[in-house]
């Protein structure tokens, strides 16, 4: 299960209700506006390395300044930005990190029938010790597992939004390169090139039928032999719908067939059902529920040929007062590492109270509980994180 799944679901909830939103004011620079933000967090983590024994507990702090240049012209938008993330663990300096993120995006409407949406991101980031590839052996690392990841995404849309039929063509390229340069770690470096298309057909009543297909070429930078290569080609075909049946309910659902063929004859190919679905329900003006579920094949993080992932999440957001809201989310998932016999059950709980103290200052008091229960005992862990976050804008 993706570590950002609940954050994404809660983020969707924030977008679905607009009565509570921190206004970000920029500095006029002529053609562009500079929008700076500063997010700081203080908290406590009772299992920093996700260990299955006593582990390391520590107070920590993070500081995240972000600068975005924005140019809105007509219905179009151009953005450039930089974000620095610095984390310090007071009782475990080996887990300190400094991340950098560069990003740019362009949303451009040529006319009512032709639209372009593109983005470029470059991250000099990290996995925490005990996360991803170091799961179950985080204490063996002397520092966070650092990587560089770049992504280019381009979508061309044909057809007016009010037309009965329209089409999206998507191109995506992502490259992941871990910094440790040994044969064991070079096995993780990979790139993914995806070509996809989605056809929408309007059925009326704010409902679109959709047909989607994607082809992804996965190439690993290093393998010990041709027989052990993880290079593969993934193909997916899905049919579904997206809708907004009432002012308070919207969602999407799609189901289909996914196929993964490895270049190495010794690795077993996969074919089976895949699905994605999400529903946003607003029974009250100030209350939002989001249900999200998916079933998919993902790249392995060290064991087996690939991961068959199934998960479901539910989040709830409620605005009690004009400046006060709460958020809660739970997620459950299963990761089957095909070819290794490993199975992980994952649970996560997120709670938060958000208070907009001033237009330019918002506080977030949060709690996260994570648990992994695997048939390999060394990978089991539970973790509690308590945090207080302040976000400052102009």
Q: What pLDDT does residue 1 have?
A: 47
Given this model, what pLDDT does residue 182 score?
A: 74
Distances (CA, A) of 279 to 16, 21, 289: 11, 22, 8
10-residue mean pLDDT profile of the chain (394 residues): values are: 42 42 76 94 96 90 97 91 98 96 96 95 95 85 93 97 94 94 80 97 90 96 81 96 85 96 90 94 92 93 89 96 96 93 95 95 97 92 97 93
Is residue 252 within 8 A of residue 277, CB to CB? The reply is: yes
Write out pLDDT tens, residues 174-204.
Answer: 999 998 877 777 788 999 999 999 999 999 8
Report the alpha-carbon distance of residue 279 to residue 297 in Å, rounded: 22
Domain 5-393 = CATH 2.40.160.40: yes
What is the distance, to the nearest Å, from the Cα of residue 148 to the centroid of all Cα atoms in its chain?
16
| Count of CA atoms in the C-beta half-sphere (13 A) of 324 | 2
**pLDDT at residue 42, as a whole number:** 98
Contact 119, 107 (CB under 8 A): no
- Could you tell me whether strands 249-262 and 190-204 are parallel, antiparallel, or unpaired per DSSP bridges? unpaired
pLDDT at residue 91, as a whole number: 96
**3-state DSSP assignment of residue 11:** helix
The whole-number pLDDT of residue 225 equals: 75
With beta carbons less than 8 A apart as the criterion, state whether 10 and 353 touch. Answer: no
List pLDDT tens digits, range 47-85: 999 998 878 999 999 999 999 999 998 889 999 999 999
Gyration radius of the chain's alpha carbons: 22
Q: How do the domains of the chain map onto residue ranges? A: 5-393
At 134, phi and psi to the nearest 5?
-100, 15
CA distance linking residue 227 with residue 234, whole number of Å = 19
pLDDT of 18? 41
Using a 10 angstrom Cβ sphere, with 0-12 exposed, 13-18 middle and 19 or more buried, the burial of residue 296 is middle
What sections of 41-167 are H helices per DSSP? none
For 14, the token pair is 């924030």
> What's the confidence (pLDDT) of residue 143?
92
Of 97, 43, 40, the residue nearest 66 (C-alpha): 40
In 273-378, alpha helices (H): none
Name which of 109, 59, 101, 106 is nearest 84 in CA terms.
101
């Amino acid at each position: 299960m993706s570590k950002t799944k609940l954050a994404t679901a809660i983020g969707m909830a924030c977008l679905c209700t607009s009565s509570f939103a921190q206004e970000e004011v920029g500095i006029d620079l002529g053609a562009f506006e500079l929008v700076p933000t500063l997010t700081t967090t203080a908290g406590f983590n009772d299992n920093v390395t996700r260990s299955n024994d006593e582990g390391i507990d520590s107070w920590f702090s993070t500081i995240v300044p972000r600068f975005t240049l924005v140019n809105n012209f007509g219905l179009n938008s151009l953005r450039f930005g930089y974000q620095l993330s610095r984390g310090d663990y007071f009782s475990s300096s080996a887990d300190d990190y400094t991340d950098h993120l560069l990003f740019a995006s362009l949303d451009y409407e040529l006319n009512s029938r032709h639209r372009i949406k593109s983005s470029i991101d470059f991250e000099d980031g990290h996995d925490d010790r005990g996360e991803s590839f170091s799961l179950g052996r985080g204490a063996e690392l002397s520092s966070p597992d650092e990587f560089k990841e770049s992504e280019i995404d381009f979508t061309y849309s044909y057809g007016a939004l009010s037309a009965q039929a329209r089409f999206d063509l998507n191109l995506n390229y992502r490259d992941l390169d871990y910094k440790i340069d040994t044969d064991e770690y070079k096995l993780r470096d990979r790139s993914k090139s995806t070509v996809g298309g989605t056809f929408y057909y309007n059925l009326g009543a704010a409902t679109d039928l959709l047909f989607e297909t994607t082809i992804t070429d996965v190439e690993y930078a290093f393998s010990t032999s041709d027989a052990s290569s993880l290079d593969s080609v993934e193909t997916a075909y899905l049919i579904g719908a997206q809708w907004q049946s009432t002012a308070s309910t919207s969602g999407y659902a799609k189901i289909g067939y996914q196929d993964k063929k490895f270049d190495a004859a010794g690795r077993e190919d996969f074919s089976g059902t895949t699905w994605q679905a999400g529903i946003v329900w607003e029974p009250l003006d100030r209350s939002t529920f989001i249900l999200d579920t998916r079933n998919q094949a993902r790249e392995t993080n060290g064991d087996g040929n690939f991961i068959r992932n199934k998960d479901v999440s539910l989040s709830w957001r409620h605005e009690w007062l004009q400046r006060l809201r709460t958020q809660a989310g739970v997620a459950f998932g299963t990761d089957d590492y095909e070819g290794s016999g490993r199975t992980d059950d994952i649970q996560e709980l997120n709670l938060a109270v958000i208070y907009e103290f001033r237009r330019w200052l918002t506080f977030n008091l949060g709690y996260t509980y994570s648990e992994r229960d695997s048939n390999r005992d060394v990978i089991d862990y539970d973790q509690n994180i308590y945090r207080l976050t302040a976000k400052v804008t102009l």
